[in-house]
Structure formats: structure tokens, C-alpha cells
Amino acid sequence: MKIRAADLLISCAREGQFPADGLPEVAFLGRSNVGKSSLLNALVNRKQLARTSSTPGKTRLIHFFRIVAGETELALVDLPGYGWAKVSRKERKSWGSLIESYLERRAPLRLAVLLQDIRRDFSEDETLLLEWLAERGIPWQVVVTKSDKLKPMRRGKRLRELKDQLGATPFPLIATSSQSRQGLDDVWRRIASSLEESR
């Protein structure tokens, strides 16, 4: 994908700060440290457009990035990760409601991309989230991350296991690595088709 522009639009701590410029949005969500910010950077060929860290809980705000990819202008949205035990309960609650207010009421949202580390099993956090999205009619896609962490022999087996855990999905899982760049074209194709559908 030819990336013509990639800029941070705004970082938000509250719903009232979300941008009003009407670009179609694709949001990345998933457990802390799963590789959301890294995938976003890899998709737009920028090393540190979205801040990444080996310390879970790096992304605490909702970051909106304006992207011009080929002929398409859109916003990629980096959501804070969930499931990080080391933050206080109060803080966790406020992140949870920030993410929820985004997903629940964000009209320009076209696709929610749920990320899953290839080495972990799906938990209720993921399955309930997918149900929640489906109930609200929000199109979603599961992207498996860090596939480079496993030897090629193990990769296929793990993907089949993850697929079995999830059961039938509207679209097949996409395996990716932000490091080796595996699967990034497939993610772009899925993003493009989700924008087409909703026009």
C-alpha cells in the first residue's frame, strides 16, 4: 500500500475531544502489549508514529491518526490496551469507559480490528468483546500478531487452534508480524473492503 501521509490528528482522554472531521475510522483494540501500536506503525511504514513499548499499558489515550493510503483518506485509531493488572482499579475503570464510549457511539467507525497474540489463547475478554461488537452491528476482524515469535512449523498449528477456539467468524483470522511484515497486505485489503461496504 502506498502511504502518502500519516500524521497524528489528536490524542484524547475524553469523548468530547474526539475529532469531528468525519473521516472513516478503523480502530485497533486488544490486550495490552499485544502489538496494536506496532501494527499501526507497520501498516503505514512509520517506526514510531504510534508510541510502542515493551512495558504494557503504554497507550493510555485514544490516538487518532490521519492516513492517506493510495486514493483513500481514513483515520486509524489506536485504543488503550485492556487487561493490564498493574494499574489501579480506578484507572482501569476510566480506560474501560473511554474505550466503551468510543466503540458505543462513534459514528465514523467502520471496522474494529481485535488483535490477539499468536502465543496466547483467547479469553473471555476477547470472546465477550466480539459478541458485544456483533450485537451493536460493528464490523470486526481478528488479527493474530507476533507470528514471527513461533517457528513456521508451530505457526500453522497455533492458527488452527485459535480458529477452533473462536468457532465460525465472518472473515478468516489474519496472521501478521509487524517485524517480518507478514500479513500486512491482507490487513489493508480487509480495511479497504470494510470502507467500500459502508459507502
Residues that bind ligand GTP (CB under 6 A): 32-38, 52-54, 56-59, 80-81, 145-146, 148-149, 177-179
- Tell me the closest approach of the beta carbon of residue 98 to ligand GTP, in angstroms: 13
Alpha helices of the chain — where are they, by DSSP H? 36-43, 89-105, 124-135, 152-166, 184-197
- Tell me the closest approach of the beta carbon of residue 76 to Mg ion, in angstroms: 12
Contact 130, 114 (CB under 8 A): yes
- Tell me the closest approach of the beta carbon of residue 199 to ligand GTP, in angstroms: 29
Which residue from 186, 118, 182, 187 is spatially nearest to 150, judged by alpha carbons?
118
- Tell me the closest approach of the beta carbon of residue 68 to ligand GTP, in angstroms: 22
User: Count of residues for the chain?
Assistant: 199
How buried is residue 87: exposed, middle or buried, by Cβ count under 10 Å (0-12/13-18/19+)? middle
Nearer to ligand GTP, 177 or 194 (CB): 177
Q: Which stretch binds Mg ion (CB under 5 A): 31-39, 64-72, 100-108, 157-165?
A: 31-39
Candidate residues 18, 33, 37, 183; the one interacting with Mg ion per rule CB under 5 A: 37
Q: How many CB atoms are located within 10 Å of the residue 97 CB?
A: 12
Nearer to ligand GTP, 4 or 119 (CB): 119
DSSP 8-state secondary structure symbol assigned to residue 8: E
- Regarding 59 and contact with Mg ion (CB under 5 A), the answer is yes
Nearer to ligand GTP, 148 or 186 (CB): 148
Amino acid at 131: E
Reduced to 3 states (helix: H, G, I; strand: E, B; else coil), residue 89 is helix
The site for Mg ion (CB under 5 A) is made up of 36-37, 58-59
